[in-house]
Amino acid sequence: MAEFSGLEHIVRENEPLAPYGWLRTGGVARYFAEPTTEDELVSLIVLCKAQGISVKLLGGGSNILVASDIVDAMVIHLSSAAFTEIHVDGNCVVAKGGAKLVQLLSTAAREGLSGLESLAGIPGTVAGALKTNAGTHNDDIGQWTRAVKVLTRDGEVAVREGDQLRFAYRESSLNELVILEGVFELKAMDSVEVTKRTQTQWILCKGQQPRGAAGAICMFRDHGGVTAKSLIESAGLKGAAMGAASLNDACPNYLELNEGGSVENAVALLNHVQAEVEAQSGVALVRQVEIW
Ligand SMILES: Cc1cc2nc3c(=O)[nH]c(=O)nc-3n(C[C@H](O)[C@H](O)[C@H](O)COP(=O)(O)OP(=O)(O)OC[C@H]3O[C@@H](n4cnc5c(N)ncnc54)[C@H](O)[C@@H]3O)c2cc1C
């Protein structure tokens, strides 16, 4: 085993990743850690760098499909209190990267701060949402982000703001190793009104997701104003399946894994859909979900 002197209490070997992913399948992480303080996180990163161990960050796992038997890396999960705290400072909500997006939204609603309501129903963490610039057709988290605190690959803490922060459709300029915290500048509004808007959006969003969405992943990004869903439907792929992996009937851009399904079934179906859509429409769909 690699040397994690002083951090043995937070590092585990061969940790199964299935419980952390939305398809509840996949391999193990060679190393896995849940640091409890920022100092532990920095020490861990420095030790990984010194030993040539690559580092991957896992948020809520809603945009990751673990396809490898062994993810040969240190997988870091920011689940402890030090990485999930949220507080309010004037019109800004300051949320740690490991906090759940739903908690950020409920804090904003409770405090009468409007802006993030359209993100209601999107699963995952604040860091995952910042990294992927999570959002809907009209709005995304980047529009409300004033600053982001990150940890660089050398273990240095830095703040990205102004023109160091760029957001595009499902992309951000945040390529540093760890997203530690986001600062969201919102608009003051009656808290009852913000809560109502959040609830309405939540209902709309859930109506567009597969029922029991905890067993599904969103496969592809929309393409130049055309939804991935309509491209998949036009290619005649509604109801397509491979083994126990199938496309959701109502939302064919979501892949579901039924009982007994394997990650191989999921990857095969994803590749099949991508190839068929390209063959039928000439559009090379870009994957939204990240494959490890
Ligand atoms: C049912 C369902 C519905 C969805 N609907 C939407 C939607 O409407 N709109 C939308 O935009 N997306 C949607 N998604 C995709 C997904 O929920 C978002 O991309 C979400 O923001 C990912 O957050 P996460 O915490 O789960 O990130 P993860 O899946 O864990 O990770 C995503 C990326 O972020 C990186 N990451 C995570 N934490 C950190 C950190 N602390 N520091 C640095 N990098 C980090 C990971 O390494 C990875 O590259 C949906 C997914 C599902 C399963």
Residue that the structure tokens 């959006």 belong to: 201
pLDDT digits (tens, 9 = 90+) for 218-229: 999 999 889 999
Please tell me the distance from the alpha carbon of residue 145 to that of residue 127, in angstroms, as a whole number.
12
Residue 212 pLDDT class (50, 70, 90 cuts): low
C-alpha distances (whole Å) from 114 to each of 93, 107, 111, 132, 148 are: 11, 10, 9, 21, 19
Please tell me the distance from the alpha carbon of residue 185 to that of residue 222, in angstroms, as a whole number.
28
pLDDT digits (tens, 9 = 90+) for 112-153: 999 999 999 999 999 999 999 999 988 999 999 999 999 999
Contact in structure between 288 and 221 (CB atoms under 8 Å): yes
Please tell me the distance from the alpha carbon of residue 109 to that of residue 209, in angstroms, as a whole number.
23
Ligand 1 atom nearest the C-alpha of 123 is 17
pLDDT digits (tens, 9 = 90+) for 14-55: 999 999 988 888 899 999 999 999 999 999 999 999 999 999
Give the three-state DSSP class for 262. Answer: coil
Going by their DSSP bridges, the two strands 64-65 and 290-291 should be labelled as parallel
Please tell me the distance from the alpha carbon of residue 249 to that of residue 255, in angstroms, as a whole number.
10
Give mean pLDDT, residues 206-223: 81
Is 170 considered catalytic here? Answer: yes
Residue with the larger pLDDT of the pair 212 and 268: 268
Identity at 4, one-letter amino acid code:
F
For ligand 1, which residues put their CB under 6 angstroms from it?
Answer: 22, 56-64, 78, 97, 122-125, 127-129, 131-132, 134-136, 170, 178-179, 209, 213, 216-218, 290
Whether the predicted pLDDT of 262 surpasses 90: no
Ligand 1 atom nearest the C-alpha of 179 is 42
Helix (H) or strand (E) holding 181: strand 178-185
Distance from the CA of 218 to the center of ligand 1, in angstroms? 10
What single-letter DSSP state applies at residue 21? S
pTM of the model: 0.95
Please give the domain boundaries of the chain with CATH numbers for all domains: 11-81 (3.30.43.10), 84-208 (3.30.465.10), 213-291 (3.90.78.10)
